[in-house]
Chain A
Amino acid sequence: MSHNQLTESGRLHHFLSIEGLKRALLTEIMDRAEQFSSISHQQVKKVPLLRGKTIVNLFFENSTRTRTTFELAAKRLSADVISLNINTSSASKGESLRDTLHNLEAMHSDMFVVRHNQSGAAEFIAQHVAPHVSVINAGDGCHAHPTQAMLDMFTIRRHKHHFPDLRVAIIGDILHSRVARSQIQALATLGVGEIRVIAPKTLLPTDCKTLGVHVYHDMEAGLKDVDVVITLRLQLERMQGALLPSAREYFQCYGLTERKLSLAKPDAIVMHPGPINRGVEIASAVADGPQSVILEQVTHGIAVRMAIMSMTLGSQAELHEVTS
């Protein structure tokens, strides 16, 4: 399905979903992030790529980590950043969303980084902003969280070199996870050999296989010989809709423990998009253990978001100059 996120010449204009993006583009994001990640170690952690640009973080849903890394990424690119938290729990519907956008556009912003609790919200906003404004999806409902998926791919690439040789298992609430959907699309685009999802039936979408994954309900079978283990955060409100009986039973069946992890390859890495529920989806010993790369993921988030922001908003020539 064609997103309108690419320009006619195939460059990124918006970044809404991994779906439809080519492998070369994902690789370019990671290559560029690799260059930016060295900046974090410099005395002066800034490059002037987006100087004079205004970026508005528009968060209709609470977030600390994602919003902060987006802010940091924008500031390191020398952009001016405003962060707005907008409460959607009130009766604010489509029209007020559009009005909010138009008001912000009137302040001549160049980019919106959007998080919203409804699937398709980023797509909707991209359709309604002025043509020169870029939109980055920082998570829309259960649909997509493409920057998170890219920082996960970047982290995997740092540790494992050749995507086609990999077996990756994603454990947990696939049904409600925008992270999982974007990860699956990114892994598939990068040619990962086998993508597995492990969850009880209540947390898997109907027709889950159409996403291109192998479905497991059993951790022992699902984790066997995998190279990458991704655990997803379990929202504790899932007990309400009769999706699960208790956090305790979930941990017993689907929590990642050292014992279960031992079924994966010895050099398997453990990932989590955060924030972690210790003792629910992952044991502390694993989260803090030698195979965990969870904190690295957070660090990589800045470089990857710098790469994506600069690719959507920066001029290509400048980009080349600064990063080469």
Chain B
Amino acid sequence: MNLHIKNGRVIDPASQLDAQLDIFIRDGKIVAMSSHLDGFNADKTIDATGLIVCPGLVDLNARLREPGQEHTATIDSETLAAVAGGITSLCVPPDTDPVIDTPAVVELIEERAKKSGRAMVYTIGALTQKLQGELLTEMAALKMAGCIGVSNGLSPIKNSLILRRAMEYAATLDLTLFINAADPWLQGNGCVHEGAISARLGLTGIPETTETIAVARDLLLIELTGVRAHFHNISCGKTVSLIKDAQNKGLAVTADVSAHHLHLSEHDIGNYDTLSHVMPPLRSIRDREQLQQGIRDGIITAICSHHQPLDNDAKLGPFPETTPGISGLETLLALTMKLVDDEEITLHQAIASLTSHPAEILGIDAGQLKTGAQADICIFNPNIYNECQPNKFVSAGKNSPFSGWLFNNKVTHTVFNGKLVFGQDKIHSISV
């Protein structure tokens, strides 16, 4: 299949490209990026006039709920949601059921993803068996099976000696360690940021030190063991400074932030809005500003969906009893681009933090546009007012706190491996 994307504004952060160009795709690969190509007979032409053409987005953390919770969502339903959000590569953390601690589970996920054929699904293997923080997994076997890194998911390893050894073992195999940092004791049964809102609503708070103490410990062990590490979903301003110091010391440490933490704060919980119940919790406005600053300063290099699709019942109940999580695949680009509209970050920073930077963290050949590379492309309209309507999400999870938000951009087409996997020629703008 020959695909011709014409007249788009092509932006590729990896090569600093920003130009009006056509892209010619044959057999899944980009064969040329130029104004024309002689002898190319397109089976399909996408008129990208007025649209931005960028690499397919790379999402470092998305839960697809399969295996284990297929009643909530499946690899098929969520990869469809991913491409509706312009995402062509995504990583699943190991906390599936069964846990990704054996090659069999890796193979199952990869096979399902391949069958759906819409996006590249990468697996992050478990650091310890059943994520129990006691026995190491067979990381060499997991790596061989295709895991691009290891992690203990949302179950922090309490025992520092075991963490040290797990880091050393992962470093031996040159595997990146992905960390969701939280001190389990300080987190306790908390459900919101500890501060004015927890005081007012009588909800158990999660202090900022839950994250900073865990990050500080982990950074010291990273220094000791030399493992390459990536912090997922950081939520506090002080964490940004800790990571900055580590990077200045020369440690191989990177970090991402969720798109929702860049827009929301503890105040969005309002009167027990369970859709804003998320872990780590939404922090103060000051934290939110410091996270944005972390992106501007290049300390945080990736913005992720931290997609957690949930069924409606999971959000129905008294706030502390509801399940934390936000369905984020379909708002990742819109929320990131909103930061550009709000003049918080540049267009280049926005696209890089969704494409080339996360690809670099994963060490995968994706997130850029170049001749000869696999054609994974996201095309979006950067100038169309539309209202966020979670009940119309493609994802099985409609749990988003962004209902009614106005975005000024929308994904129109997604190309994966040279195939048009999502296309919406007509999108409706609303007048504002």
**A interface, CB within 8 angstroms of B:** 1-3, 19, 93-95, 97-98, 116, 118-121, 123-124, 128, 140-144, 178, 181, 205-208, 210-211
Q: Determine if A141 and B196 form an interchain contact, defined as CB atoms under 8 angstroms apart.
A: no
Tell me the total A-B contact number using a CB cutoff of 8 A. Answer: 82
A207-B196 CB under 8 A given contacts A120-B320, A141-B318: yes
A120-B194 CB under 8 A given contacts A94-B316, A206-B207: no
User: Which single residue of chain A is at the shortest CB-CB distance from B272?
Assistant: A120
User: Which single residue of chain B is at the shortest CB-CB distance from A128?
Assistant: B316
Q: Determine if B319 and A3 form an interchain contact, defined as CB atoms under 8 angstroms apart.
A: no
Q: Determine if B321 and A123 form an interchain contact, defined as CB atoms under 8 angstroms apart.
A: no
Chain B residues with CB under 8 Å of A19's CB are: 200
Quote the shortest CB–CB distance from B13 to chain A (angstroms): 40
Q: Determine if A120 and B318 form an interchain contact, defined as CB atoms under 8 angstroms apart.
A: yes
| Pairs A-B, 5 closest by C-beta atoms | A94-B317, A142-B202, A143-B202, A205-B199, A118-B318
A206-B199 CB under 8 A given contacts A118-B318, A120-B320, A121-B318: yes
A119-B270 CB under 8 A given contacts A143-B202, A144-B202, A178-B202: no
Whether B322 is near chain A, meaning CB under 8 Å from some CB there, is: yes
Q: Determine if A206 and B318 form an interchain contact, defined as CB atoms under 8 angstroms apart.
A: no
Whether B156 is near chain A, meaning CB under 8 Å from some CB there, is: no
Chain A residues with CB under 8 Å of B316's CB are: 94-95, 98, 124, 128
Chain A residues with CB under 8 Å of B194's CB are: 206
Whether B201 is near chain A, meaning CB under 8 Å from some CB there, is: yes
Whether B313 is near chain A, meaning CB under 8 Å from some CB there, is: yes
Q: Determine if B317 and A124 form an interchain contact, defined as CB atoms under 8 angstroms apart.
A: yes
Residue-wise interface mask of B (313-347) relative to A, using a CB-CB cutoff of 8 A (1 in contact, 0 not): 10011111110000000000000000000000000
Q: Determine if B318 and A94 form an interchain contact, defined as CB atoms under 8 angstroms apart.
A: yes
Report the interface size for chain B: residues with CB under 8 A from the other chain. 23
Whether B198 is near chain A, meaning CB under 8 Å from some CB there, is: yes
Q: Determine if B318 and A119 form an interchain contact, defined as CB atoms under 8 angstroms apart.
A: yes
- 11 chain-A/chain-B pairs, Cβ below 8 angstroms: A93-B317, A118-B318, A118-B319, A120-B318, A123-B272, A124-B272, A141-B203, A143-B202, A143-B203, A181-B200, A207-B195
Whether B271 is near chain A, meaning CB under 8 Å from some CB there, is: yes
Q: Determine if B321 and A94 form an interchain contact, defined as CB atoms under 8 angstroms apart.
A: yes
Q: Determine if A206 and B205 form an interchain contact, defined as CB atoms under 8 angstroms apart.
A: yes
Q: Determine if A93 and B321 form an interchain contact, defined as CB atoms under 8 angstroms apart.
A: yes
Task: Report how far A118 CA is from B272 CA in the complex, Å.
Answer: 11
Task: Report how far A143 CA is from B192 CA in the complex, Å.
Answer: 14
Chain B residues with CB under 8 Å of A141's CB are: 202-203, 318, 320
Chain B residues with CB under 8 Å of A120's CB are: 201, 203, 271-272, 318-320
Quote the shortest CB–CB distance from A79 to chain B (angstroms): 26
Quote the shortest CB–CB distance from A116 to chain B (angstroms): 6
Chain B residues with CB under 8 Å of A2's CB are: 271
Q: Determine if B205 and A119 form an interchain contact, defined as CB atoms under 8 angstroms apart.
A: no
Q: Which residue from A3, A98, A116, A206 sits with its C-beta under 8 Å from B195?
A: A206
